[in-house]
Structure 1
Amino acid sequence: MFLQPQLKTLMRDGSRGAELHDARNLQKSWRKFAAFAYVAEQYGYRYDGLSPTSPKESPNPYFAFRRTPDAVERAARTAALFPQALTGGQLPGMRPGGSRLRPLPEAQRAVDLLHARIQVDYAGSHRRRGLLQLLVIPLALLIPLSQTGFTLASVLVCAGIWVFFIVLWAVGLFLARRRFTKYARLLQAAAVQWPPRR
């Protein structure tokens, strides 16, 4: 659904010679977004991590794709091999028909490594997401407390609500750290240095 507009925006940036292309995950899964990153590389834009323009702690951040030195040649070669790609045809490295972001066997490993890099970036940068909201919740709970009065029962209910959100945040933090560790190990086993040292 969102694939065609994303590809057209990528191609537009390519025709303008833009050094960076930003994209959000508009697909149904992170694996499909990794497949999109693989396709973007065939058109001359290599996945480069979280975009510096992405809003901090956003649940759906922008990811940066950096123009490759041979971007013009790559895009021309891919357009010649896949002339119907922008109008619903087969995409480079992907299976024809059905879901257009299903990698062919020869592209699967590259897509898997892209998926791991995306997961490391996403999990690593969002470990603190929600911490600010945890600090704001007690202030927000002052509103109902001011209406009902500061009785022991109402203060305990508000404290219970706050503890509930703390537990949710801690579980989210645990899952993000586990995801980060899992995919960082996968990249290390594949001898991929990510995030790159700049």
Structure 2
Amino acid sequence: MARLHALAPAEFAPELRTTLGPALGDPQGLGLLRVLAQRPDITAAFLAFRSRLAAATALPPRLVELVRLRVAFHNQCRSCMALRTKSGADDGVTEALVCSLERPAEAADLTPAERAALRYADLVATDHLAVDDAVFDALRAHFTEPEIVELGVQLAVFVGFGRLSATWDLVDDLPDRFLDRSAPVTPWGADAVVADHR
């Protein structure tokens, strides 16, 4: 059971219900927002930030989704791992591709740019002080500096909010395999949730 009260979509403030629209019909896809909605003002600011970041992105949705899922694994954020974004799916993120995240350095279906971004994500999520010049040299081989800045901001959101979500233990509405807290779980599997609001 979640450590904080997760609001039912009907309990969301009217302005949040308007902002989220059809996404309210899928409580599984709302994840963190169901607790965050206790503070509609903060939720609105968070959604506005995420919306602006998505609208201004220079990075492919496929890359952002792969990085998000890899960080979710490190965070053991079960609601993050269960989620699949529509933008990622529309840009070719299949479950077969998600399975590549188990060993990204060896995955043939990941591009060199994706492998460099995933290496950076692994370090930011697990040992940020190990990020060195070689990591940035590998990133610069594939990304402009503004794109690296955006990747860093995306990682900050994924690491921070993913860890927050994990501490809130938001698993009640997830597929069964995410409910067992006795061992780590992975984002690769057949029963993911697709969120239409991202």
Q: Shorter chain as normaliser: what TM range?
A: under 0.3
Compare the two structures and name the one with the higher helix fraction. 2
Q: Which has the higher contact order (CA 8 A, sep 6+)?
A: 2
TM-score (norm 2): 0.24
Compare the two structures and name the one with the higher strand fraction. 1
